[in-house]
Amino acid sequence: MSDKSNTARVQRPSLSSSMRSSSYLQEHQQYRAPNKPEGHYGIDTVVEDMNATSIATLPSPIVPPKGVARFKGIPSPEHPPTIVESGLSHELSHPNCTPAPGTRSDKLVATLYYKSTAPRISNAIPSPQQASSPAGSQSPKGRAADSEIPGNMAPTSSLDTFPLEPPTAEPEPLDHLYGSYVSPMCITSFLHLMSSFPLPPGASDLNSAHRCLKLDQTPDHHPLVVELTLSPGPSLDYLPLADLRKHELIYRFEREWNVDVALRADTLFRRYPRLVVFDMDSTLITQEVIDLLAATIKDPPDLAARVADITHRAMLGELEFDSAFRERVKLLTGLPGTLFNDLRPVLEVTNGVRPLLRALKRLGVKTAVLSGGFLPLTSWLAGELGLDYAHANEVVIDDATGRLTGEVKGRIVGAERKRELLIEIAGKEGIPLDQVVAVGDGANDLLMMDAAGLGVAWNAKPRVQMEASARLNGDSLLDLLYLFGFNDEEISQLIQ
């Protein structure tokens, strides 16, 4: 070892005490804003030296007027301090920050989805009775063709059954006037609506903040999904959240602006789901499997019509789901058990399902499908999509002939069973129900949606849309992620 290693180390250079100040920023700051004098004292000097220096000894530029209390870092709601610099004006207020110790916040989150795929028709068009048909298209009775009846004008598509009384006047679609997106006027209108509801006791003002979660592809990048945080939300004593979602003012606002409004309490678990449960038919896939079976079977030739009749009766409430399912399965007696394999290539996965499931998997969220359909297809689809759980009805196949007996093994996976399975899976995984999301479209999904912390109606029947916690009526199930507060940039990272 060299003797040089034993030589005394060179002492590190340091500033003399006379050159040091009590401000780290003042010593190390390299950048000075233009037109700012060298004697400028920043907020760091005020804060660091305040305890050791009296107000009277501070340089004149920072001597506060008499009677002004020292700023303690907590803005005053009545007179928030304002920073005014060249190119900067910032008001220090915090209505949406953490509440004071011993209190709690009652924030409400509203997610506004613009329904760009379902534009509304203006009421300014001629009524169906007065509409003129193209040349040669007039019906024998001298009426306009059925196809000319606007979808929002009456509960019928046939002029022969058109109601004698005019339909209730719909509000004019304001998105036609102010922009086919979630416009500033749309947000203003919503905030004005929410301000009409009573606030909790002790609250005098409604504060709000908003974020754009999804933008369109136009050069101006208009917002299509906007999240608003209201602080505080309307008084729950006056109107519980479940009733607020169904309020006539909310419904009318949605019709006027062509949006869906999802209202949720701004809790911690809103942003962190741990289990998402899906229905299968018309949710994970676009079809109804029982109808696919009937349509692909040619013998007997009237099978499709008989299955459709039972389905129609069930939709009208004439048959319970369990009875309707058993009756339809009975019609399949004698068919080969391999027919489910033949349907695999026909299944059409709903748009957005695959990237949605990739995103949920990356977030560590468990997934399940609870179907009132057939287990052979449900299990196969769950394997294809990478779902963690799959439950459906198991039909009996005769071992000797390999054909369906027309019987169902075990309990029918109907409304009650879906709720039980959701609770069982959550319990097995140790997941609170507050962190469970259920997505479906039919009345037999309502009980599981009610048991979950969030129930989402996906392009659902009218009753389901009314009863669910939230509703999505878009063309991609990926829209579900906006309910958790993710924006497009974050979603693109999750689905890569």
Q: What b/e sequence results for 410-434 when a residue is b if at least 16 CB atoms lie within 10 Å of its CB, and e otherwise?
A: eebbbbebbbbbbeebbeeeebeeb
Cis check for the bond before 75: say yes or no (omega within 30 of 0): no
Known catalytic residue at 49: no
Given a contact cutoff of 8 angstroms between Cβ atoms, the answer to whether 194 and 206 are in contact is yes
**Distance between CA atoms of 114 and 448, rounded to whole angstroms?**
27
Which burial class, exposed, middle or buried, applies to 94 when counting CB atoms under 10 A from its CB (0-12, 13-18, 19+)? exposed
**Distance between CA atoms of 53 and 381, rounded to whole angstroms?**
72
Within 2-90, residue ranges assigned H as helices are 24-28, 43-49
Q: 111 Cβ partners below 8 Å, 6+ apart? A: 213, 225, 226, 227, 228, 261, 262, 264, 470, 482, 483
The active-site residue out of 106, 279, 441, 479 is 279
**Distance between CA atoms of 278 and 335, rounded to whole angstroms?**
29
CA distances from 44 to 24, 47, 86 (A): 8, 5, 19
**Distance between CA atoms of 142 and 249, rounded to whole angstroms?**
40
Q: Give the position of tokens 């519980």.
A: 240
Q: 112 Cβ partners below 8 Å, 6+ apart? A: 182, 186, 187, 190, 225, 226, 227, 228, 259, 260, 261
Angle (CA) 60-65-70 rounded to 5° is: 100
Given a contact cutoff of 8 angstroms between Cβ atoms, the answer to whether 468 and 457 are in contact is yes
Q: 418 Cβ partners below 8 Å, 6+ apart? A: 279, 370, 372, 444, 445, 447, 448
Q: 486 Cβ partners below 8 Å, 6+ apart? A: 213, 494
Known catalytic residue at 146: no
Q: Give the position of tokens 């803005």.
A: 75
Which residues pair with residue 85 across a beta bridge? 88
The active-site residue out of 281, 322, 441, 445 is 281
CA distances from 303 to 307, 333, 369 (A): 6, 11, 28
Closest CA to 258 of 224, 213, 221: 224
Tell me how crowded residue 371 is: count the other CB atoms within 10 A of its CB.
Answer: 26
**φ, ψ dihedrals at 361, nearest 5°:** -65, -40
Closest CA to 305 of 318, 319, 295, 315: 295
- What are the catalytic residues? 279, 281
